[in-house]
């Protein structure tokens, strides 16, 4: 099995080197303990204008076998992930936040899950599972995250208990097919659309409880975030309704054709 870990980064000169080096150390330890697997750390730099590109190229030179620097001029987690998937050649592909807020031991758990369960297609990390452990989360981030889950369940009957934990891995064929279906949204909501489309399709998903430590440097504008949630949800509901209408029309046309033949 081969693994591609995509790290979407934007102006992460303070955390990039530590995040990549820690991941490499963890993977070396994992390979020593469980057997070597081929892996790649893809730094998907979506428009950084600080020292991120220089650090990324330095890491690529230092670790040419396992680090790849991918420069994307347009900003957004969505376009970083989509581009990484489109260029991926590994069996498993996914994304992690460079601050490693989701404990890196979950990377090893994910590898084992895919190895032991051939039918598993999607691993979705969750902070809201009863077995998850979270530390350092500010009250307003808890409210906005829980509120988003409530809205997604109310509007899309989402089964997953979390939507944007920042840790998602898929088998490559499933990732490519979902990316082909998704919109051209460039931002964080792209990952939510990916999950919802996987659920609509009946993809085998594991809602994985994790240990999650909040990055204290993050901030959030609660009113703006809520407005953004509502706007993106309305747009995706319209898209799903239109797709369902087109699918129904196609089915009716095929039925008419069969009767005529």
**Mean pLDDT confidence for 227-242:** 91
Per-residue pLDDT of 138-171, as tens digits, reads 777 788 888 899 999 999 999 999 998 999 999 9
Q: Provide CB contacts within 8 A for 113, sequence distance 6+.
A: 120, 123, 206, 208
**pTM value?**
0.91
Q: Write out pLDDT tens, residues 46-72.
A: 999 999 999 999 999 999 999 999 999
Statement: residue 222 has pLDDT above 70: no
Output the pLDDT for position 140: 75
Residue 245: how many CB atoms within 10 A of its CB?
10
**What's the mean pLDDT in 85-102?**
96
Cβ–Cβ < 8 Å for 109, 31: no
Beta-carbon contacts of 64 under 8 Å, excluding residues fewer than 6 positions away, are: none
As beta bridge partners, residue 102 has 212
- Cα–Cα distance measured from residue 175 to residue 201, given in angstroms and rounded to the nearest whole number: 13
The whole-angstrom separation of Cα 222 and Cα 227 is 9
Residue 45 has phi, psi (to 5 degrees) of -80, 105
Residues ≥6 apart with Cβ < 8 Å to 159? 199, 205, 207
CB-CB contact of 43 with 5 (8 Å):
no
Residue 90 near residue 3 (C-beta atoms within 8 A): yes
Amino acid 221: pLDDT: 63
- For residue 88, pLDDT over 80 is answered with yes
176-211 pLDDT, tens digit per residue, is 999 999 999 998 899 999 999 999 999 999 999 999
Indicate the Cα dihedral angle 199, 201, 202, 208, nearest 10°: -30
Other C-beta atoms lying within 10 Å of the C-beta of residue 57: 15
197 - beta bridge partners?
none
Q: Which of 82, 84, 92 is nearest to 113 (CA)?
A: 92
pLDDT: is 143 or 114 the higher one?
114
């Amino acid at each position: 099995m081969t693994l591609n870990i995509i790290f979407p980064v934007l102006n992460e000169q303070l955390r990039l080197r530590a995040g990549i080096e820690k991941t490499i150390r963890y993977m070396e330890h994992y390979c020593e303990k469980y057997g070597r697997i081929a892996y790649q750390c893809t730094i998907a730099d979506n428009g950084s204008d600080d020292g991120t590109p220089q650090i990324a190229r330095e890491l690529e030179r230092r670790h040419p076998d396992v680090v790849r620097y991918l420069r994307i001029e347009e900003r957004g987690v969505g376009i970083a992930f989509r581009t990484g998937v489109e260029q991926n050649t590994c069996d498993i592909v996914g994304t992690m936040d460079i601050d490693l807020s989701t404990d890196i031991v979950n990377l090893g758990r994910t590898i084992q899950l895919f190895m032991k369960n051939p039918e598993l297609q999607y691993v979705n990390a969750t902070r809201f599972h009863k077995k998850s452990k979270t530390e350092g989360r500010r009250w307003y981030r808890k409210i906005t995250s829980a509120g988003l889950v409530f809205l997604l369940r109310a509007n899309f009957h989402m089964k997953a208990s979390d939507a944007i934990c920042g840790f998602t891995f898929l088998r490559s064929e499933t990732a490519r097919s979902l990316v082909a279906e998704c919109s051209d949204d460039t931002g964080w909501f792209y990952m939510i659309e990916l999950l919802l489309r996987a659920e609509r399709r009946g993809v085998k998903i594991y809602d994985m409880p994790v240990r999650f430590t909040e990055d204290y440097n993050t901030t959030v504008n609660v009113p703006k975030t809520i407005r953004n949630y509502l706007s993106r949800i309305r747009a995706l509901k319209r898209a799903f309704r239109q797709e369902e209408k087109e699918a129904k029309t196609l089915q009716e046309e095929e039925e008419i054709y069969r009767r005529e033949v």
